[in-house]
Structure 1
């Protein structure tokens, strides 16, 4: 199955250890994260605990900390880190020649 990749922004549009939000009318907003070493991840912008905006959290390594109740979420999978349980939706993302693409199938 081929993916429908959509260009979202440039890597430099997102600060290192920061995030940007892709607002969507037809679904949940998507948070796009950039790590200190320029890895890019995308999650539904809702913590699995109480729906806090993950895009406003603190990125550290490959996790983001929810700004509401300090849950840590794995950026690669969307899974809450133990002992917490739950998952934010993960969106496939790729970086090519400085451009960030999301699979919005």
Structure 2
């Protein structure tokens, strides 16, 4: 378990560490879906979880790279070698769980 469901309101992001030490962020999209992603930008390891959340994209606060939180792909760049690591996330009985690899 990463956090309580109420800790991640629509449009909100919660940052934590997984048991293996990986930084992870959980965001609740406007449609109430939860997504979990590695909380380091693949560009220069900027703290993505403190970036702006717009629809299904997160914007890195350091260099403004955008990532689609559904696919993990860099947004607006065509094909890119940068891809955001996504995690399986579940919500059950008021708790949010993220699967470690």
TM-score with structure 1 length normalisation? 0.81
Q: Which runs of 5+ in 1 are unaligned?
A: 1-6
User: Residue 3 of structure 1 aligns with which residue?
Assistant: none
CA distance in 1, matches of 2:30, 2:52: 12
Report if the CA contact (8 A) 1:22-1:31 is conserved.
yes
Which of 18, 33, 36 lines up with 2:30 in the alignment?
36
User: Which portions of structure 1, spanning 4 or more consecutive aligned residues, are displaced by more than 6 angstroms?
Assistant: none
User: Residue 88 of structure 1 aligns with which residue?
Assistant: 84
Q: Which runs of 5+ in 2 are unaligned?
A: none
Question: CA separation of 1:81/1:21 partners in 2, compared to 1, >3 Å: closer, same or farther?
Answer: same
| Pairs aligned (count) | 99
CA distance in 2, matches of 1:37, 1:71: 23
Pairing 1:9–2:3 present: yes
TM-score with structure 2 length normalisation? 0.83
CA RMSD after TM alignment: 1.8
CA distance in 1, matches of 2:56, 2:72: 10
Question: CA separation of 1:102/1:24 partners in 2, compared to 1, >3 Å: closer, same or farther?
Answer: closer
CA distance in 1, matches of 2:53, 2:44: 19
Report if the CA contact (8 A) 2:18-2:100 is conserved.
no
CA distance in 2, matches of 1:25, 1:93: 15
